[in-house]
Amino acid sequence: MPATTLSPVDLAVIAVYLVVVVAIGLVVARRTHSGSDLFLAGRRLGWAPIGLSLFASNISSTTLVGLSGAAYTWGIAVSNYEWMAGIVLVFFAVFFIPYYLNARISTVPEFLERRFDRRTRLYFSGLTLFSNIVVDTAGTLFAGAMVLAVFFPQLDLFTACLGLALVAGVYTAAGGLAAVVYTDVLQAVVLLVGSCLVAWLSFAQLDFSWATLVAATPPEKLSLMLPLDDPNLPWLGTLVGVPILGFYFWCTNQFIVQRILGARSIAHARWGALFAGFLKLPVLYIMVLPGVMAGVFLPGLDNGDAVFPTLVTQLLPVGLAGLVMASLLAAIMSSIDSTLNAAAALVTMDFVRPEQRGWTARRIAWTGRGFIVLFMLLAAVISPLIANFQGLFHYLQSALAYLVPPVAVVFVLGLFWRRATATGAFATLLGGHVVSAVLFGLSLGGMLTLHFTIVAGLSALASALIFVVANRHGASPAAAQVAQFTFHWQTTQRDPALAWWQDYRLHSAILLALTAVVVIAHW
């Protein structure tokens, strides 16, 4: 990867930015006294911080570094993960959010215990914990280390990963979810401003001519839907696999849903989720397309993951380059802080269960802080191993494709199928992951050549069949479980206390319409 340098002014901007972020976290720490404060921000979050924090945490793990690199290599179809998020978030806001909030749960796995039983909760909690540390946090630390390597080539991966983990870990352990969310608000704004600057200056390299980009770029790089045999993201994978991955990420992943659980009301939770969906729509234009444009005026880069930092240092003037690089580091940290806090919440609330032990609120908070530090160090050790994979984005998505389909099936059938039993749910998690393990083994052995998104669809289908078969042998769910944790149409009604323009259904319809426009325009 080519090395480059930042001016002293740029480095000063980055340093000041990092100090401000840590300072915000430490100030918020003064209001963090209990487990509820640490993990759920006291359930006081409004819709705007929720939406900005959802956006910042998601962007950091796959975009800028991962998406820009993938776009540079094979085109805009990688943004299918982005616009699909809007559709998934509408589904989440309409159907799942009211059940999560009414249940007053602290973790997503706790919902499975309410709907099914404790063994299902612990299984999913362990799986989410593994995903948060090995996939999410480690992947994001690696992305940050790749960025630092561009400017400090003498810095080894472990040192870079540990440094990033320490910065994010300090304010996360101190201030908990509130610190995560309010630093994410700043980070989201800087992310958007920085990305817009890079996109504008990249387009300026082409004289603001779309025709120039089209003439110099292979047609498949400017198409969202690729042929069935495409090795990167075939159209069938977009339709059957990407929604499954998106459902897991947005609707069941603790480090994302934790913000929803911290909302002050169902209305604010829904508005926040839909706001994040609106923020995802411009990603194609301000974060993905610059990677494609770079293929025209920066050809021949050895590593696609170096595209974004290279654009920053070659296009932006002194000072602005530092600000945008700070936004990139902000993107990295906003995911690290989220996953660390979520992992600590899972262990503390699902496995330690301090409330049943009679622990004080202060002891719960300090236990959570201890787990944050532990997971910070663990992720820093694991992250350098990602260098053995084809690329950051490939690592993140292919890992999830084998882990999450059974989870998606259990949540969807659990909510919409009143007769779904605890036996069926647990058998689906076990059997579905056996199927995933077999498919993964066949893939490693070269006997299965399907794209991982199609594999995710096959695994989900197999998991659904397992659920239907196993459900015949389980005891019927209790009446209270059916009444409180399965879908009924009353949950989709508008709150009469709100004006028509505050109706989440109206917002959902607008978001779906705008998504359709983007997809049709770039089909």
pLDDT tens digit string along 218-242? 888 888 888 888 877 888 988 988 9
400, containing H or E segment? helix 392-403
Q: Which amino acid is at 420?
A: A
**Angle in degrees, CA 440, 446, 449, rounded to 5:** 75
Predicted pLDDT of residue 386: 59
How much of the chain, in percent, has pLDDT values that exceed 70? Answer: 84
Confidence label for 470 from pLDDT (cuts 50, 70 and 90): very high
How much of the chain, in percent, has pLDDT values that exceed 90? Answer: 24
Residue 397: which of 241, 273, 184 has the closest Cα? Answer: 241
Residue 272: which of 73, 41, 445 has the closest Cα? Answer: 41
pLDDT(61) > 50? no
pLDDT(388) > 90? no
Residue 370: which of 340, 395, 408 has the closest Cα? Answer: 340
- Interhelix angle 157-204/138-151, rounded to 10 degrees, is 70
pLDDT(126) > 60? yes
pLDDT(34) > 80? no
Confidence label for 384 from pLDDT (cuts 50, 70 and 90): low
pLDDT(299) > 90? no
**45: β partners:** 263
Instruction: Give the CA diameter of the chain.
Output: 68
Q: Which amino acid is at 115?
A: R
pLDDT(82) > 80? yes
What predicted TM-score, i.e. pTM, was given to this entire model?
Answer: 0.84
Confidence label for 269 from pLDDT (cuts 50, 70 and 90): very high
Predicted pLDDT of residue 392: 47
| Residue 75, Cβ density class (10 Å: 0-12 exposed, 13-18 middle, ≥19 buried) | buried
**Token pair recorded at residue 433:** 């992951």
Confidence label for 47 from pLDDT (cuts 50, 70 and 90): very high
Minimum mean pLDDT range among 36-40, 259-263, 419-423, 458-462: 36-40
Predicted pLDDT of residue 1: 42
Whether 452 contacts 241, CB under 8 Å: yes
Minimum mean pLDDT range among 25-29, 227-231, 468-472: 25-29
Over range 147-158, report the average pLDDT. 68
Domains and CATH numbers, the chain: 8-24+46-387 (1.20.1730.10)
Whether 395 contacts 389, CB under 8 Å: yes
**226: β partners:** 234
Minimum mean pLDDT range among 35-49, 164-178, 456-470: 164-178
Q: How many CB atoms lie within 10 A of CB 119?
A: 15
Over range 424-449, report the average pLDDT. 85
Cα 491 from Cα 234, distance rounded (Å)? 36
Confidence label for 280 from pLDDT (cuts 50, 70 and 90): very high
Return the higher-pLDDT residue of 245 and 160.
Answer: 245
- Interhelix angle 320-345/157-204, rounded to 10 degrees, is 130
- Look over the chain and give the mean of its residue pLDDT values, rounded to a whole number: 81
Predicted pLDDT of residue 301: 75
**Angle in degrees, CA 260, 261, 267, rounded to 5:** 55
Cα 292 from Cα 74, distance rounded (Å)? 8
Return the higher-pLDDT residue of 69 and 66.
Answer: 69
243, containing H or E segment? helix 242-247
Residue 10: which of 247, 392, 461, 316 has the closest Cα? Answer: 316
Predicted pLDDT of residue 396: 55
Predicted pLDDT of residue 172: 66
Over range 184-190, report the average pLDDT. 81
Whether 50 contacts 204, CB under 8 Å: no
Cα 144 from Cα 151, distance rounded (Å)? 12
Predicted pLDDT of residue 42: 72
Over range 347-371, report the average pLDDT. 75
pLDDT(3) > 50? no
pLDDT(424) > 50? yes
